Amino acid sequence: MRRVAIIGAGSIVFCKTLMLDIMATPELEDTEFVLMAPSTGKTSQVKAFADKVIEKNGLKSRVLVTTDRREALAGASYVITSFQVGGVSAFELDYKIPMKYGVDQCIGDTLGPGGVFRALRSIPVILDVARDMEELCPNATLLNYVNPMAMICWALGETNIQYVGLCHGVQTTLDLIAGYTGVPKEEIDYVSAGINHMGWFTKLSHKGEDLYPALRDKFEQPAFYVNEKVRGEVFRHFGYFMTESTGHLSEYVPWFRKNQKALDLYCDEPSFGGESGAYYTWCAYVAEKYKDQDILADESYDLPPRSVEYCAYIIEALETGKTFKFSGNLRNNGMIANLPADCCAEGAVFADRTGIHRTVIGEIPPQCAALNMTNINVQRLAVLAAKSGDPETVVQAIALDPLTSSVLTLKEIRDMVTEMLTAQRQWLPQFEGRLPRPTPTIETPEGLQRAEVPIDPALAVFSRFGELAK
C-alpha cells in the first residue's frame, strides 16, 4: 500500500477533507494513512471517523495514529504537512502584541509581524521533517500546506527533497472572477503567476476573448467594487487582478491598514474579511467551541465528491501518470524571469508519473513584480533569521514589511520584536538567550549646540538657500 504520512493531523476538518479526497479517487483507495500529531486527542477522532468511512464504502484503505514523527515518515510515499507550531496561543501573541504597537493585522499568517513569527516557529520544524525524509523516505513527495507558504517553501527549496506548496487562492479567486464576468469558471483560460497570496492573473480569456475589459467595467460599478475594495483598488492602479482577498492583501501593502482613515475607507465591511484580527478571532472561537467535542461525530460516512484542494489530484498524477496542471509553490529557478531565482514563486506547475515540474512563464508585468519584491525582501530575511537564530535579522525583516514600516519607527519595531521574541521564547529555541540589541532614546535638549563636524555638501547648499530666504 502507498503510505501517506500527515504531519499535523490534529487539524481535524482539513485532515478529514484531504483523506476523503484521496479515498474518493478510485486509483488511491488502497492507501495507508499515518496521522501524526503531538498528542492523539484529535487524531483518534479522525481515525474513528475514517475507519467508519472505509467500512461503509468497502475501501482498502487503513488508518494508523502515532505521536512519533519518524515512525510516521518511515517508508512514506507522500508526506502532507499542515501543522501550526504554538497553536492558537502563539497566534494570539502574533496578533495582539503588534496591535498594541499600532500594527493592525487582519490575518497575520503570511507577512508582517505575525507572518514572520509564524515562519520563525515553523521553518526549523519543516527542515527537521525534510532531514527525516532524506533519511527515512528519500523518494517521497512533500505536499506542504503550512503557512507562511512562501517562506516555508523558500526554506524547503534549499533541501534535497521533492516538494510543492499548495494553496487554494487561485481556485477561489476564479470563482469570484466567474461571478463578476458571468463566464463559467471551467471555461476561463488564465495565467496566474507571482508569489503565494500575491499571484497575478496576467491573462484572462474566454474562447479567445480578453475578459479584462468586462472585469474592469464591473469594478467601476459601486455594487461590485464594494465587495472587494482592497483588491479592486490594487487592480485599478496596477492593472492586474490578484489572487487574495481584501483581508489578506490589505496587510501585504502599505496603503489600507496604516491608520484609521485608511481602515474606514477600505476595511470597514466585516462581512468581507477586512476587520482587525479576523482570522485570530475565528480560530480562537473554533478552538474554544470544539475543545471538548468530537467535531466529526455527526458527519456523514458517505464519500463526497473531491474538494477544490489539489492534494489528491497530484498524488493521482504521480501514481498513474494522468497529468495534472495546477498553481504550485516552488523555488523559482527561472519560472518567473523577473523575480529572484532563489525565492519561492507561484505559477503553473504540472505533475505526472515522472514528478512535479515547473513551467517557464517568463516575465510578469514590472509593476506586479515590484509589488512581489516588497514581500520577497521580507521573506528572504525571515528565512535567514529562522535558520540562524539572529534576532537582528528578525528586526530587519519586519522593518522591511510594507505595513509595519508605514506605521512604526525603527526603534518601535525593535521594541516590538523584542517583546514578541520574549513572549514566544518557548517555541523559538534557536533564539535561546538572544534578543535584539537595546537602543536607548536620544533626547535632544533645547538650546543644544551642534557638534563641529563636516557638513554634507548637499546639506550645505540647502542651508545656504535657507540663509538667502531670510
Among candidate residues 302, 244, 287, 280, the one with its CA nearest the CA of residue 13? 287
**Count of positions (residues) in the chain:** 470
Which residues pair with residue 66 across a beta bridge? 36
Q: How far apart are CA 396 and CA 410, in angstroms?
A: 9
Q: Is 206 labelled a binding residue?
A: no
Closest-CA residue to 161 (of 85, 73, 84, 69): 73
Give the DSSP letter of residue 455: P
Catalytic-role residue among 168, 206, 212, 357: 168
Q: Determine whether 252 is an active site residue.
A: yes
Concatenating the DSSP letter of every residue in 387-410 gives: HH--HHHHHHHHHT-HHHHHH--H
Task: Establish whether 377 is an annotated binding residue.
Answer: no
379's CB contacts (< 8 A; 6+ apart) are: 111, 148, 150, 151, 154, 195, 343, 344
CB 232 within 8 A of CB 225: yes
DSSP secondary structure, 173-218, as one string: HHHHHHHHHT--GGGEEEEEEEETTEEEEEEEEETTEE-HHHHHHH
Is 147 known as a binding-site position? Answer: yes
Q: Which of 240, 252, 310, 313 is catalytic?
A: 252
* 237 a catalytic residue: no
Q: What are phi and psi of 248, to 5 degrees?
A: -70, -60
Residue 185 in grid coordinates: 469558471
Count of CB atoms within 10 A of residue 118's CB?
29
C-alpha distances out from residue 44 to 32, 63, 224, 285, Å: 15, 10, 45, 22
- Of the candidates 126, 43, 452, the residue with the CA atom closest to the CA atom of residue 51: 43
Q: Which amino acid is at 41?
A: G
CA-only gyration radius of the chain, Å:
24
Burial of 437 from C-beta contacts in 10 A (0-12 / 13-18 / 19+) = exposed
Contact criterion met (CB below 8 Å) for 344 and 329: yes
How far, in Å, are 44, 92, 423, 441 from residue 65 at the CA level?
A: 7, 29, 32, 54
Which stretches within 362-456 are classed as H helix? 366-388, 391-399, 402-407, 410-423
Which among 64, 62, 31 is positioned nearest to 319, based on CA atoms?
A: 31
**Which residues are marked as active site?**
168, 252
Binding-site annotation: residue ranges for Mn(2+) = 167, 197
Binding-site annotation: residue ranges = 147, 167, 197
Binding-site annotation: residue ranges for substrate = 147
